[in-house]
A and B are shown apart, each in its own frame.
Chain A
Amino acid sequence: MLEGLLIGLQTALSIQNLLMVIGGCLIGTFIGMLPGLGPMSIIAIMIPVAISMGDPSAALILLAGVYYGAIFGGSTSSILLNAPGVAGTVASSFDGYPMAKQGEAGKALTIAAIASFAGGSIGALLLMVFAPALSSVALLFHSAEYFALMVVGLSAIAAFAGTGQVAKALMMTLLGLIMATVGEGALFNMPRFTMGIMDLQSGFGFITLAMAMFALPEALFLVLKPKTTQESQDGEIKNLRITGAEAKSIAPVIGRQSLQGFFIGVLPGAGATIASFLGYAVERNLATKEEQEEFGKGSIKGLAAPETANNAACTGSFVPLLTLGIPGSGTTAILLGALIALNVTPGPRLMLDEPQIFWAVIMSMFIGNLVLLILNLPLIPYIAKVLSIPRNYLIPFILFFTLMGAYIGQNNATELLLLVGFGVAATALRFADYPLAPLLIGFILGGMLEDNFSRSMQLYDGIGFIWERPMTLGLLVIAALLVFLPSFRARRARLRAEGIADGD
């Protein structure tokens, strides 16, 4: 292994390859900030460039830089503008955006950068040491377990079911699940709930819905309620640095989520999105009662958890790619295409036949992560300055940004009508104090939930899989605990405060 590491390092540390990774990180970060272009599309853009270089190691190093840059860029727009460009960064906006609104944009970006770096690097370390052993883990889950895993992911909505909001949060989740059924499902030949409208055949676009639920209502709120959103308008970016106490409180979160995120990423049917929601839900439950109150309102733990988990999961998704030759996510599928074009066939023989490629991939991950951190920490104050732009310039900028994001996603003008329609509806819902995040969580997980549920139903001729498969049952119990434990604890505390609690 040491020998392999040295080969990898030697390759990665040449001047040409270092320039590649720096260029890749910069390109990835800046294009990744645009909501319509996630890591997958940016890598697809860069692949012709990478392939034309002809050297597989250099190409991989460039793509790794682009990849990590794009993930970080996506988090930036989630945190600063509440405009998550990819599903994996939706959870980052839950607490990242409130922090930015409270004038702590710089700190939020710093936490995001550090959490991403840690998640990615620890993930790469795990990949390096355990990749061959993990190929069996990748095949541990059947459709039944994926279904249960999606249910655990749904429990992230508990964070939005604050006092008196449980019914509202549930209603919004159900609405999201219902919206996910529009269009042609993967399992049926029939379009559903399209009302014969051609544009609905493909279902609602993720970007359109994310912009309509999060970014557009923010912009409208800036117009409608100018007084209440003054905090971030004073032009001052406070608290760029995180304090020692804060670092101490997020360190265990980063540690746990690096592991959890990585293992979820290893599963070919899960990925960064599930990992980020699960990380958010789990860390909220592990937090103390006072910290739990903070979740959804600007908790540093609530930001660190999904940021770590989604990066670790992205790294984990390389396990099935490199050891089995199976792409578990869209991004790894594109990378598989690039590798094949470079005459490298990933699979069980890659480590034996072409160790230098395997080690180059691993080293490029470490270097991509490190260079990204070094490049971005000094840039953060300037990026965060976006928020100090005067309102009369900022609002048109956000509007342009969201509309463009929805359009370049599909190249379809109908998306703009849908965006504006849903955006207005979402704004009305916000005035009535309905949480919008559960709707988006339901929408994102709904499709996968349904596919895996109906596959399991077919395989087991009914819902028998729930008790016939212990792991499925176990995951569902965890989901129930994640949802009910906090409210149970809160209820007990309330009763105790009233002096009628059990026994004391």
Chain B
Amino acid sequence: MTTFSLGRRALMATALAAMAFASPASADGHKVVDSIHFLIPGGAGGGWDGTARGTGEALTNAGIAGTASYENMSGGGGGKAIGFLIENADSNHGTLMVNSTPIVIRSLTGVFPHNFRDLTLVAGTIGDYAAMVVGKDSPINSMEDLMAAYDADPSATAVGGGSVPGGMDHLVAAMTFEAAGKDALGVKYIPYDAGGKAMAALLSGEIAALSTGFSEAVDLANAGEVKIIGVTSDERVPAAPDAMTMKEQGIDTSFVNWRGFFAAPGLPDDKLAMYQKALADMYATEEWEEVRARNGWVNIHNSGDDFKAFLEEQEQVIGDLMKKLGFL
């Protein structure tokens, strides 16, 4: 039921804003873009959602963009939004779609007719580590405990995630179990259609553990609602210094889920350059630093051709992994 208008809505937002209040941002000299409409291929409250809204917040607060609007279009692991952007390319020159590792996975499995090469590559902006999370009352306190629970009763140790089977959350769970010497395909993976719903399922005790993005779990972990038992980073992340890495626990896994922005195919070059400049300018601002630190993201900036090379390398690495795990 997630339905919105696009350009029209941005226009209305601008008009309403102009009617009611003078926009404080317009007084600023740094403005690069009047308005950006973010297309979010997943449910509200998930990792893509946080990335788009955080980026929009930083861009507008820093005065780089006049206004930002957001649209959630979930379905099919992000395929719905990619299809939408390609189908309606001409009317979406004002739209930036947030995406991440799943777009590479989808192009590999070939389930979906499109891949990242069918879109205009704007820039990769951040990374987010993956995390294994359990509820605060769970007897599981470490990856070792989780593996022991899995050995005792694989069927009762369901791992949930916010992506389809064979999607990123599933892949990370399988990767971790594989690295710990278990049968990766024996893991019972339960998919949810949004990160928020998967988190609710974890707290309700429906699933034993949740494979999710670190930034999606860090607020609840700091509030004491969940425990992060493993992070796929090389070093501990400052936003949650108590959370152990997988490597510390003898599981040789590291994984960064990059996030970045794409535009409709056939986007005029001047507009592409404008969006790339807006995103590049963002890194130096205090507003971005605040959002980034709050979410525990890592800056990984790849613009234009660098982004293309980066994606192709990811495709290679993940493809090998998926073949090894039997997903391909």
Contacts and interface: CB of A to CB of B under 8 A. Distances in A.
Contacts of A461: 155
Contacts of B167: 189
Counting contact residues on chain A (CB < 8 A from B), the size range is 35 or more
Interface in A1-56: 23, 27, 36-38, 40-41, 44-46, 48-49, 51-53
User: Which of A203, A336, A337 has the most chain B CB atoms inside 10 A of its CB?
Assistant: A337
Contact of A327 (B5, B75, B80, B196): B196
B103 interface: no
A23 B20 CA distance: 10
A40 B219 CA distance: 24
B12 interface: yes
Contacts of B88: 411-412
Interface centre among B21, B69, B87 (most CB of A within 10 A): B87
Given A186-B193, A189-B109, A325-B223, A36 B3 contact: yes
Interface stretch (B42-50, B115-123, B315-323): B42-50
Interface residues of B, number: 74
Given A44-B71, A187-B165, A189-B77, A409 B197 contact: no
A411 B6 CA distance: 7
B84 interface: yes
Contacts of A451: 193
A52 B24 contact: yes
B100 interface: no
A341 B50 CA distance: 11
Contact of B220 (A143, A334, A341, A347): A347
Interface string B197-217: 101110111110000000000
A345 interface: yes
B89 to A, nearest CB: 11
B302 to A, nearest CB: 26
A199 interface: yes
B5 A139 contact: no
B185 interface: no
Contacts of B20: 23, 49
Interface string B45-59: 100010001000100
B21 A187 contact: no
A138 interface: yes
A141 B223 CA distance: 22
Interface in A314-343: 320, 324-328, 330, 333-334, 336-337, 340-341
A269 B80 CA distance: 21
Interface string B1-18: 111111111001100110
Interface in A287-324: 320, 324
Contacts of B43: 330, 333
A412 B91 CA distance: 10
A139 B21 contact: no
Interface in A60-99: 86-87
Contacts of A162: none
Contacts of A327: 44-45, 196
Leading 9 A-B pairs by shortest Cβ distance? A184-B76, A333-B44, A186-B193, A409-B3, A139-B204, A408-B5, A333-B45, A268-B200, A327-B45
Interface of A: 23, 27, 36-38, 40-41, 44-46, 48-49, 51-53, 86-87, 138-143, 183-191, 198-199, 201-203, 205-207, 268-269, 273, 320, 324-328, 330, 333-334, 336-337, 340-341, 345, 347-349, 408-412, 451, 455, 458-459, 461
14 contacts: A40-B4, A138-B200, A139-B205, A184-B77, A184-B79, A185-B76, A198-B83, A198-B87, A328-B200, A336-B44, A337-B70, A411-B7, A411-B88, A455-B192
Given A49-B20, A347-B220, 5 more contacts: A186-B76, A189-B111, A324-B220, A333-B196, A345-B219
